[in-house]
C-alpha cells in the first residue's frame, strides 16, 4: 500500500513539474520570441528523412510589421471570437461536434449502400470523411508550440491546459504575433513574412485585403492549396473572408 501511495505521489510530482516547465516556457515568451515549435521540428525531421534536404523559409517580424489585413483575415477565417474568448470557444466546438456527427452519419449511410451492392467498375471510392475542427487560434498555437500530432484524450487535456496558460500569461496581441510568425503556409514555409514573399513576392506588411484572405483560407490545408493556386474554392472563400474583414477589431 505504501509503495502504491509513493508511486502515485511520484506521478503527481512529475505531472506538476511538467506543467511548471510549460508555465516557465510560456512566461518567457512574453519577452523572448520562440526559436521553433514542436510542429516545425517534426517537419524538419520529415523533410530531411524523405527528401534528404531542407528547404526552409521563415523570418520573424514584429507585430507592427504584420499587415492588419492579415490579422483581420486570419481572425475571420480561423477564430471569429478571438478577442472575446478566454482560449476556448465552446459554441464553435459544439457546432464542430454537430457537423462531424452529421458527416459520420452520412458516411455510414454511404458505406452501407456500397456494401449492399457491388460498386460499378471504375467508380471512385467514397471520399474520406472530412473532420471539422473548432479550435481557437490559442488552441492551435498551444498544439503547434509544444505537442505532437497524436490524437488522444491525454494530449487534448494537455492542449487545454496550455491554452489556458497562454491566455493567462500572454496578451492577445502577443498570442497572435507568435501564431502568425510560426504557422505553416506550405511545405517548409512558416510565418507570415515567408508566406508573403513566397506567394506574392512582397513583405507581410504590404499584403492587400484579398491577398491576406487567400493566405488565411490556406491555413487548414496549406500544403494542399500550395499546389492548387487556381482552386475555385480558394478564390471564392477568400472573397467571402475579404468582405467580412471590415468589421473585425484586431488586438
Domains of the chain, CATH where assigned: 36-85+171-251 (1.10.3810.10)
Q: Which helix (H) or strand (E) holds 186?
A: strand 184-186
User: Pick from 23, 78, 66: which is nearest to 173 by CA?
Assistant: 66
pLDDT tens-digit profile, the chain (251 residues): 778 778 888 888 998 999 999 999 999 999 999 989 999 999 999 999 988 878 899 999 999 999 999 999 999 999 999 999 988 877 766 665 566 555 556 666 666 776 655 544 444 444 444 444 468 999 999 999 999 877 788 888 999 999 999 999 999 999 999 999 999 999 999 999 999 999 999 999 999 999 999 999 999 999 999 999 999 999 999 999 999 999 899 99
Which DSSP state fits 57? B
Question: What is the DSSP secondary-structure string of 123-153?
Answer: PPPPPPPPPP----HHHHHHHHHH--S---H
Q: Give dist(CA 229, CA 69) in Å, integer.
A: 20
pLDDT for position 122: 45
Q: Which residues of 37-75 are buried (b: 16+ CB within 10 A; e: fewer)?
A: bebbeebeeebeeeeeeeeebbebbeeeebbebbbbbbb
Determine the Cα angle at 166 with ends 162 and 171, to 5°: 170
Determine the Cα angle at 19 with ends 14 and 23, to 5°: 145
Look up the pTM and report it. 0.83
Q: Which residues of 202-237 are buried (b: 16+ CB within 10 A; e: fewer)?
A: ebbbebebbbbbbbbbbbeebeebbeeeebeebeeb
Amino acid at each position: 500500500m505504501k509503495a502504491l501511495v509513493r508511486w502515485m505521489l511520484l506521478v503527481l510530482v512529475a505531472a506538476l513539474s511538467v506543467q511548471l516547465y510549460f508555465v516557465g516556457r510560456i512566461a518567457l515568451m512574453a519577452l523572448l520570441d520562440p526559436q521553433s515549435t514542436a510542429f516545425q521540428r517534426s517537419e524538419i525531421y520529415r523533410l530531411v528523412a524523405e527528401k534528404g534536404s531542407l528547404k526552409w523559409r521563415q523570418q520573424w517580424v514584429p507585430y507592427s510589421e504584420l499587415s492588419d489585413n492579415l490579422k483581420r483575415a486570419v481572425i475571420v477565417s480561423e477564430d471569429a471570437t478571438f478577442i472575446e474568448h478566454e482560449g476556448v470557444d465552446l459554441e464553435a466546438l459544439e457546432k464542430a461536434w454537430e457537423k462531424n456527427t452529421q458527416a459520420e452519419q452520412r458516411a455510414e449511410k454511404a458505406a452501407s449502400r456500397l456494401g449492399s451492392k457491388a460498386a460499378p467498375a471504375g467508380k471512385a471510392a467514397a471520399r474520406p470523411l472530412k473532420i471539422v475542427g473548432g479550435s481557437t487560434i490559442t488552441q492551435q498555437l498551444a498544439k503547434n508550440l509544444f505537442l505532437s500530432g497524436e490524437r488522444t484524450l491525454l494530449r487534448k487535456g494537455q492542449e487545454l491546459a496550455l491554452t489556458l496558460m497562454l491566455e493567462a500569461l500572454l496578451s492577445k496581441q502577443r498570442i497572435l504575433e507568435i501564431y502568425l510568425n510560426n504557422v505553416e503556409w506550405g511545405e517548409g514555409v512558416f510565418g507570415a513574412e515567408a508566406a508573403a514573399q513566397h506567394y506574392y513576392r512582397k513583405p507581410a506588411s504590404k499584403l492587400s485585403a484579398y491577398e491576406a484572405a487567400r493566405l488565411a483560407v490556406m491555413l487548414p490545408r496549406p500544403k494542399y492549396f500550395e499546389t492548387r493556386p487556381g482552386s475555385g474554392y480558394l478564390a471564392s472563400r477568400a472573397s467571402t473572408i475579404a468582405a467580412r474583414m471590415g468589421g473585425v477589431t484586431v488586438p
